[in-house]
Amino acid sequence: MIRLIIISVFMVYFQYFYSANLGFFNTVPNLLLPVVIYYSLIRGNITGLILGFFLGALLDINSPTTFGISTLLFVLIAFLLGEMRSKINPRLNRGEQKVFLLLILFIVNLFYFFMKDLIFLIFNVGQVLPFLRIFGLVLYNTVYSCIIIIVLFFIDNLKISMKSLE
């Protein structure tokens, strides 16, 4: 749990201060979404929901006119992935699991960015992005999501104990 909190704080810091530098055609990638995806699939529904709520709220603090949209979408994504976790076939081989995870990353990024844009369009809040620009952002964010999930996987599988440090 401490590892999860440290990772979350680091990712929020990185999202606020460095993600604008990683932007693609004046868009900012969402680096918190892969954290919610990973922990919803690995740890399950409750951890994903709590993490999705807090990371979404921290992301929404930066944009008060659209407050709650990222929180709503993160919680919805965490719930759906947590429910889907129990239905994933464990008999898939490693290659199929990687392709399946990549497909999930793409679909979740597509869902997040299109729903966010649709909510902006419905409530006439903020600037709506053109379709091709959103699709480019989805592909770009999927690549970042893959990298972040690989790093999270390695961090999560590190077994560091005080005895091994002595």
128-138 residue pLDDT tens:
667 777 788 88
Cβ atoms 37, 52 nearer than 8 A:
no
Q: Is 80 exposed, middle or buried (CB count within 10 Å of its CB: 0-12, 13-18, 19+)?
A: middle
Cβ atoms 159, 43 nearer than 8 A:
no
What is the arithmetic mean of pLDDT over 2-19?
79
**3 state SS of 72:** helix
Residue 46 identity (one-letter amino acid)? I
141 CB-near residues (< 8 Å, 6+ apart): 29, 30, 33, 109, 113
Residue 134 identity (one-letter amino acid)? I
- Which range, 104-108, 125-129, 152-156, 162-166, is most confident? 104-108
Residue 91: the pLDDT is: 59
Would the pLDDT of 157 be above 80?
A: no
Q: What percent of the chain is modeled with pLDDT above 70?
A: 80
Residue 162: the pLDDT is: 42
What is the arithmetic mean of pLDDT over 53-80?
85
What are the tens digits of pLDDT across the range 135-149?
A: 888 888 888 888 888
What are the tens digits of pLDDT across the range 76-95?
A: 998 988 888 777 656 556 66
Cβ atoms 28, 66 nearer than 8 A:
no
Would the pLDDT of 166 be above 60?
A: no
